Amino acid sequence: MPIPEAKRKLGVQRMKDQQPQSQGPLRRFMRGWGGALLWALVISAVLRAGVVQASWVPSGSMEPALLPGDHMLVNKLCYDLKLPFTGVVLLSTGDPQRGDVVVFRNPAGHGDDLVKRIIGLPGETVEMRGKAVYVNGRLLKEGWGRYAPRSHLGEHFGPFQVPRGSYFMMGDNRDNSYDSRFWNHGQGGFVPREDIVGRADVVLWSWKQFPVSLRLDRMAHLID
């Protein structure tokens, strides 16, 4: 009978159409753990570009606040919300303050980012008399700076006015820090706000090289 036979063939064809098509290796990879890994990488990249990033301390220029081998978490939202992977500021969330430990792009235009402490704010006049720092002619009562007992870094510096939108940076280890005192041939080097990556808030973990060991007391250590 022709009509039932046609219906049977139509039903068989529908069953074939409803059967899942064989998946290629790339499709199977993306639907499995590979897809999850890809999403994790994308989310990590977006977070690093606009929210937080991990940085490490290669030198002792910020001792004792930061030690060589410290791996710290940098808050990139504390001052500006920027469009990820760009320098476009979407929203200002706060202003850098004196005493903040910040990570910023190397003023030399190349090399790794640097980490220092903000000493001078936009428009202020910074001067050093011996080992004392003066801001706008007044002694800055700060407890961050450290000098060796026989330090020779006590020469006069400045006064220099911090340009608008820029900051004067110094390392806490004043004998071993290449900072605003020495940039621009000793005529005062400043960091524009747009070059500040973020504020260093916490040491995640720390690795001592000699002898090789993990500094357990530095884990989750707040930076002040």
Radius of gyration of the chain, Cα coordinates, nearest whole angstrom:
28
Determine which one of 55, 61, 177, 206 is catalytic.
61
Q: Would residue 7 show up in a list of annotated catalytic residues for this protein?
A: no
Main-chain dihedrals φ then ψ at residue 33, nearest 5 degrees:
-70, -20
Known active-site residue 16: no
- Is 61:171 a contact under the CB 8 Å cutoff? yes
* Residue whose C-alpha is closest to residue 104's, from 114, 95, 96: 114
d(CA 116, CA 184): 17
Could you say which of 82, 116, 180, 206 is catalytic? 116
Yes or no: say if 121 and 140 are a contact pair by the CB < 8 Å rule. no
Active site residues: 61, 116
